[in-house]
Amino acid sequence: MFATFKYLPGQSFIHRLDPRTKLIAAALVMFSTIVVDDVRVLLALFGLTLVYYGLARLPWRSTWKAWAVVAFFAVVIIGLINTTLFGRPLSYITTAHPLFSFPPVTLPYFGTVQRTVTWEIAFMGLVRMLRPLAIMAMILPFTFTTNPYLYGVAFRRFGLSDGVAFALDLALRYVPTIARDFFITVDAQRARGYELEAKGAGLVNMIRRSAPLIVPVTINAIAGGEEVVEAMELRAFGIGRRTWSEAESLRLRGADYLVIGLSALVLVVFILLRNFTSYGPYWFPASWFE
């Protein structure tokens, strides 16, 4: 089993954007989802983010797992569990159109309670479901179209220190080595009769049984670190500013400014919609249910 990043090289419009552009655009869209509570506006935003996602031309077989995770969170956790059991309409909503009710339940100290889910609560739940979906449509292109070995220099160009950016770069380069050491350890422990999959032992024993895998890999990885420290210090690491050889390849171009500009425009429009029109605050079509 090889530890490989999910980066998919390509030449799509999104591939050719600077990594900083993709992160900034994702952040601006994230803020946009928070500003409004109107399901119509969020559906439109979700449509725009799907267009952005489509421009990356990512194959479904590579991204279905990520979509499954966020869909589970959006539909099951937010939609079914949270909205149904805990959801409440915003305080200024005065209407209540019942959707369904749970059977009455008698609780100690609370007496008999009956939870009724209204259409107003359901619309609020739909708004909340759309937020992580829209954000994921912006994040996945970053993950799959950005070479991980550009993360360090991208974060450096964001203003992070040389040390932090270099540590991130070094961490990514350590990944294949540590993955290889882990699977060697698994084989070595199995040869000694170790069984991770032994059944019927309870959670605490299962955690303790993971120690023969985690402990040797961790100690071995750290033990090798001291030599790397000495090698870096012998090469005067940290004495002066570091030169990043990939820095020249990271330059904002016209397409980057276009994407950042459009994302910022969306945020500004949403703020204006929220504060000056009826299209930003929570919307509920009461007339549909009369």
Partner 1 sequence: MMDKSTLWKFGTREIVYAAIGAALYGVLNWVFNNLTLPGTTLVSFRPPVAVPMFMGIVFGPLVGLFSGFFGNVIGDLLSGFGFFWAWDVGNGLLGLIPGLLPYVGVMEIKTGRDYTFAAIAAVVASFVGIAFPALIADPFILRNIDFAGAVSTEWLPASVTDAVNGAILTPILLYAWNAYRARSGR
265 residue type, one letter: L
Residue among 66 and 255 whose Cβ is closer to partner 1:
66
Residue among 77 and 188 whose Cβ is closer to partner 1:
77
List the one residue from 196, 252, 258, 286 that touches partner 1 (CB under 8 A). Answer: 196
Q: Is 24 in the site for partner 1 (CB under 8 A)?
A: no
Size of the site for partner 1 (CB under 8 A): 76
Site string for partner 1, 59-98 (x = CB under 8 A): ---xx-xx--xx------xx--xx--xxxx----------
270 residue type, one letter: F
Q: How many CB atoms lie within 10 A of CB 77?
A: 13
* CB-CB contact of 118 with 90 (8 Å): no
* CB-CB contact of 35 with 264 (8 Å): no
> Closest distance between partner 1 and the C-beta of residue 198, in Å?
9
List the one residue from 43, 99, 188, 219 that touches partner 1 (CB under 8 A). Answer: 219
Residue among 210 and 277 whose Cβ is closer to partner 1:
210
Residue 199 CA to residue 217 CA, distance in Å, equals 24
Residue 2 CA to residue 177 CA, distance in Å, equals 10
* CB-CB contact of 180 with 273 (8 Å): no
**Locus of tokens 């993360």:** 151
Interface region with partner 1, contact rule CB under 8 A, candidates 38-46, 110-118, 195-203, 273-281: 195-203
Identify residues 198-217 at the interface with partner 1 (CB under 8 A). Answer: 199-200, 203-204, 206-208, 210-211, 214-215, 217
Identify residues 133-192 at the interface with partner 1 (CB under 8 A). Answer: 135-136, 139-140, 142-144, 148, 163-164, 166-172, 174-175, 177-179, 182
Q: Is 128 in the site for partner 1 (CB under 8 A)?
A: yes
Residue 23 CA to residue 145 CA, distance in Å, equals 12
> Closest distance between partner 1 and the C-beta of residue 109, in Å?
17
List the one residue from 13, 194, 237, 283 that touches partner 1 (CB under 8 A). Answer: 237
Q: How many CB atoms lie within 10 A of CB 83?
A: 21
Q: Does an H or E element contain 217, and which?
A: helix 211-223
> Closest distance between partner 1 and the C-beta of residue 254, in Å?
26
Mention every residue, 6+ apart, whose C-beta is less than 8 A from residue 174: 221
Residue among 64 and 100 whose Cβ is closer to partner 1:
64
CA end-to-end span of the chain:
59
Q: Is 99 in the site for partner 1 (CB under 8 A)?
A: no
Total number of residues shown for the chain: 290
